[in-house]
């Protein structure tokens, strides 16, 4: 593990302004509640100032407006959370698995960049291209023809490029539509464990640079996700949806197919988006939960609404 570093050394590397004892040694990062001596923590929300008073950390990162909340040695930074992230990266550089595990199965026609790491049990199909410094954790499957950018991280169990759900009904049967597009993933994308991204039906499914997908996300065929968007766990994005740039989608939300979502839209957790959104903003559609009996009465009332209106 790198370090230790003094507060002064940290600020020299990452910027920010040191207040108090700048020679104090820091060996690791920690949370407000659990940090111990020689650890640095952060305050990104003034509401947590009570916890700050009790922290056992040796130093803290905070915003200019919160500078007076503690007497501890501190680094003042405009974005304490991002600053903390960088300090943590300093103490905890990503140790990717080194190299290609012997149990990985790589098609002869696949092209791997420099310093690509493939975990145990990965499967890389024909004509796949993987950019430099990308890291696939164990048991990732890349179907043939998919393209992965540089510095991409894919967690265990993810499946990239399986067939989209393309079926034409005919006389009560389903006729399969060959899925002849592929998946293209940009640079600096991170993909969570057991997430699935389907190949396109005709054209490609595209994940632009800097996109972050959490675990168990399902991305249908011909979806496009714009750069630097983030999608939380258990989200489903149906076929041919187009998600803008800098969009965030909360956990277990659902985006229906063939709709467009503008840049800088935020979809709340658990919300089903059923039509295009052309304006930035936060969109929500969650049924408010309640104690079961209260919910039951309320739901019954809700069901009668339309009828009452008609009779009124």
Query: Which x/- pattern, by CB under 8 A, does the window 67-106 give for a copy of itself?
Result: ------------x-xx-xxx-xx-xx-x------x-x-x-
Looking at residue 18, the DSSP 8-state letter turns out to be E
User: What's the farthest any 2 CA atoms get from each other in the chain?
Assistant: 78
Residue 226: closest CA among 246, 240, 241: 246
Residue 264 annotated as catalytic:
no
- Among positions 32-61, residues that touch a copy of itself (CB under 8 A) are 34
Min separation Cβ 59 and a copy of itself, Å: 15
Q: Which residues on adjacent β-strands are paired with residue 18?
A: 75
- Among positions 248-307, residues that touch a copy of itself (CB under 8 A) are 251-252, 254, 256, 268-274, 281-292, 294-303, 305-306
Residue 283: closest CA among 298, 269, 268, 262: 268
- Among positions 100-159, residues that touch a copy of itself (CB under 8 A) are 101, 103, 105, 119-121, 123, 137-139, 141, 143, 153, 155-157, 159
29 binds a copy of itself (CB under 8 A): yes
Report how far residue 201's alpha carbon sits from residue 204's, in angstroms, rounded to the nearest whole number.
7
Min separation Cβ 109 and a copy of itself, Å: 14
Q: Which C-beta is closer to a copy of itself: that of 68 or that of 292?
A: 292
Cα-based distances in Å from 205 to 62, 223, 253, 277: 41, 5, 20, 20
Q: Which C-beta is closer to a copy of itself: that of 148 or that of 232?
A: 232
Q: Which C-beta is closer to a copy of itself: that of 131 or that of 236?
A: 236
CA 114 to chain CA centroid, Å, is 25
Q: Are 302 and 287 in contact (CB under 8 A)?
A: no
Of these residues, 221, 246, 264, 292, which one is catalytic?
221
The catalytic residues are: 221
């Amino acid at each position: 593990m790198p370090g230790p570093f003094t507060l002064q050394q940290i600020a020299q590397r990452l910027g920010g302004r040191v207040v108090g004892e700048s020679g104090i040694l820091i060996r690791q990062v920690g949370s407000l509640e659990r940090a111990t001596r020689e650890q640095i923590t952060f305050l990104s929300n003034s509401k947590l100032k009570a916890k700050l008073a009790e922290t056992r950390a040796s130093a803290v990162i905070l915003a200019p407006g919160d500078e007076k909340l503690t007497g501890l040695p501190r680094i003042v930074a405009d974005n304490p959370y991002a600053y903390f992230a960088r300090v943590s990266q300093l103490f905890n550089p990503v140790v990717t698995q080194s190299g290609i595990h012997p149990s990985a199965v790589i098609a002869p026609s696949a092209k791997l960049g420099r310093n690509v790491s493939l975990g145990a049990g990965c499967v890389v199909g024909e004509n796949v291209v993987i950019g430099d410094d990308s890291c696939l954790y164990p048991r990732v499957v890349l179907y043939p023809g998919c393209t992965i950018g540089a510095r991409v991280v894919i967690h265990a169990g993810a499946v990239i490029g399986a067939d989209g759900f393309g079926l034409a009904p005919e006389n009560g049967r389903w006729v399969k539509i060959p899925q002849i597009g592929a998946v293209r993933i940009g640079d600096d994308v991170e993909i969570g464990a057991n997430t699935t991204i389907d190949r396109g039906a005709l054209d490609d499914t595209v994940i632009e640079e800097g996109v972050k997908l959490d675990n168990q996300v399902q991305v249908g065929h011909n979806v496009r996700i714009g750069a630097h968007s983030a999608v939380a766990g258990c989200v489903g994005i149906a076929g041919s949806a187009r998600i803008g740039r800098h969009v965030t989608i909360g956990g277990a939300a659902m985006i229906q197919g063939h709709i467009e979502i503008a840049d800088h839209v935020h979809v709340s957790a658990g919300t089903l988006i059923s039509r295009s959104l052309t304006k930035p903003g936060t969109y929500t559609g969650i049924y408010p939960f309640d104690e079961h009996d209260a919910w039951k009465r309320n739901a019954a009332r809700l069901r009668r609404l339309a009828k009452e209106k008609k009779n009124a």
